Structure 1
Amino acid sequence: MASLKELRARITGVKSQRKITSAMKMVAASKLRRFQTRAEASRPYAEAMRHMMAELVAATPASETAPILMRGGQGKKHLVIMLTSDLGLAGGFNAQIGRAVRSLAGQISQNGETLMLLPLGRKGGDIAQRAFPAEIVEKLPGTGGKEVPFDVASQLGDRIISMLEKGEIDKVSVVYNRFVNAMTQTPVTLPLVPLAVDEEAPEARKDAPSEADKPLYSFEPDEESLLEQILPRNLKVQLYAALLESAAGEQGARMAAMDNATRNAGKAIDRLSQHYNRTRQANITRELIEIISGAEAV
């Protein structure tokens, strides 16, 4: 049985932990409001651009001269970008990204493709190191829970374009947590290269109109010049939207995890306090019995 001194020390320690988790919860809630606003504001633009590019792909004749961001490479090297956090204490936020990547890796293997991993965030690097050490291209640092500048997505997009042009990769997908609310973050796998045809686009539906009735696109100054400008921009916009979604999801997951930890600490304090009071009462009762027994013996 623990002594009163040990119980007091444990109660003091748990109270200190509760103060820390409560403070972390408030910090995460403050950051969540900012990141949530930005993530929600980016969604319409990213989705509209994604749908526009998908319709453009469906209406553009496939050819070997098409931009590499549209058709992808000729090989089977599939780059998967993992968006995770640099910090822990975020519940299952990073673990579910790890499960999604392992599931995607199985699909890539079944398709006869070669997996290549580019984890963004220290936790993603740790997960990749344990599960796929030989497939890691490089471990990139995350934003550390701070603001997400567009330069991060722009530099990452430029690197992807460079790797595609050099033939180092042929396909690209990004795996991230889409923010739903503070309690829910949904893992999403988004293909970036080659561009996917939008299933909702008129050109992609089974009941699509005939060739004569399909919409015609006019390019100015010309198709190649326009696509060279739009495709890299679309890639960077999709990466930036994913980074914002991941940042908002991280703060939501951390806020929920710290809220649970604070409540559990409160319950632990109640149990320890009850144990302390019972032990103290038992000690007092025992001392009284000893005093009374000694008095009767005299």
Structure 2
Amino acid sequence: MASLKEVRNRIVSVGSTQQITKAMKMVAAAKLRRAQDNILRMRPYASRLNSILSNLSNVSSEAGENVYGQKREVQRVLIIAVTSDRGLCGAFNSNVMKAVNILINERYSAQAAAGNVEVMAIGKKGHEYFLKRNMPLAGDYTTIFGNLSFERVRVAAEQAMDGFVAGTYDQVDLVYNEFKNVATQIVRTEQLLPIQEKTEEQVANQVESDYIFEPSKEEIVEQLIPKSLKIQVYKAVLESNASEHGARMTAMDKATENAGELLKELKLTYNRTRQAAITTEILEIVGGAEALAASR
């Protein structure tokens, strides 16, 4: 059994840890509110942009002419993996890394064996993970979340888009955590490039609109497609940012509860140890008194 001093030290240590996790939960909650507002504002914009693009042109037919819709034999692949810069957020980062590994093993095993799979890790945790495993990395975007803005994400999106147009990559996929609520984040794997054609059901449900085009329809579509792709990447980063704070808030809340349970157990152990020590002292005193009485 541990000594009273050891138990006291553990109680102080766990109490300090509980205060830290509680403070981190409050910080995550404050950041989550701002991140949640950002993604809730972005979702309608991204959805409306895609809707306008769909009404301007049937992507199924335009994809064959647009440089971002060119379908080639998939030999070189880029995977954009969105993680966080910091840990202490449960399985948030490991879920993305696991999804990337599954994607490579199930879909791009031949390309990976030939060394033709690159990862663009947005976030320090993902960058460090793939760097340790000698995975070819495209660019360094480990500081994006320090000052998150569309301009900083745009640079990463343009690198992927330019690489596809130049033939450096034949396909670009996007893996990130989608924010559902504080306790739930859903890992999404989406094809960014080439642009996917609409299904027959989507074409059938598409609402046609009558527009007057100025300049030409082709020029408008040509400008909207790159913007839509950049918005898609930026939306994924905002989703991941909100998911990170939600995951950290949940993890710190659970850590605070666990610390509270551990404190109860330690205090109970402390009281039992103290009682046992007092009982032992009383027995020693009584034994000593009886020994003195017997010697007289």
Aligned match for 2:265, one of 259, 271, 277: 271
Residue 190 in structure 1 maps to residue 190 in structure 2? yes
CA contact (8 A) 2:76 2:169 kept: yes
Provide the rounded CA distance (Å) in 2 between the counterparts of 1:290 and 1:76: 82
1:142-161 matches, cutoff 5 A: 142-144=143-145, 146=146, 148-161=148-161
Q: CA deviation at 1:164?
A: 2.4
Which of the two has greater helix per residue? 2
2:93 is matched with 94
Query: In structure 2, do the counterparts of structure 1 residues 108 and 224 end up closer, same or farther at CA, with 3 Å as the change threshold?
Result: farther
CA contact (8 A) 1:178 1:187 kept: yes
Q: CA deviation at 1:147?
A: 5.0
1:18 is matched with 18
Provide the rounded CA distance (Å) in 2 between the counterparts of 1:266 and 1:35: 29
Residue 236 in structure 1 maps to residue 211 in structure 2? no
Q: How many residues align?
A: 287
CA contact (8 A) 1:80 1:175 kept: yes
SS of alignment partner, residue 197 of structure 2:
coil
SS of alignment partner, residue 13 of structure 2:
helix
CA-based RMSD? 2.6
Amino acid aligned to 1:129: L
CA contact (8 A) 1:54 1:196 kept: no
CA contact (8 A) 1:122 1:141 kept: yes
Query: In structure 2, do the counterparts of structure 1 residues 246 and 142 end up closer, same or farther at CA, with 3 Å as the change threshold?
Result: farther
1:126 is matched with 128
**Structure 1 stretch displaced more, 49-58 or 283-292:** 49-58
1:140 is matched with 141
Q: CA deviation at 1:73?
A: 5.4
Q: CA deviation at 1:277?
A: 0.6
Q: CA deviation at 1:72?
A: 5.1
Q: CA deviation at 1:274?
A: 0.5
Q: CA deviation at 1:255?
A: 0.2
SS of alignment partner, residue 79 of structure 1:
strand
1:117 is matched with 119
Query: In structure 2, do the counterparts of structure 1 residues 35 and 126 end up closer, same or farther at CA, with 3 Å as the change threshold?
Result: same
Q: CA deviation at 1:89?
A: 0.2
SS of alignment partner, residue 232 of structure 2:
helix
SS of alignment partner, residue 295 of structure 1:
helix
Query: What's the TM-score, normalizing by structure 1?
Result: 0.87
Provide the rounded CA distance (Å) in 1 between the counterparts of 2:60 and 2:167: 26
Query: In structure 2, do the counterparts of structure 1 residues 181 and 204 end up closer, same or farther at CA, with 3 Å as the change threshold?
Result: same
State the Cα deviation string for residues 193-242 of structure 1 (Å, max 9, x = none).
Answer: 1111233765367xx9xxxxx98987543344223311211111111111
Q: CA deviation at 1:189?
A: 1.2
Provide the rounded CA distance (Å) in 2 between the counterparts of 1:280 and 1:61: 79
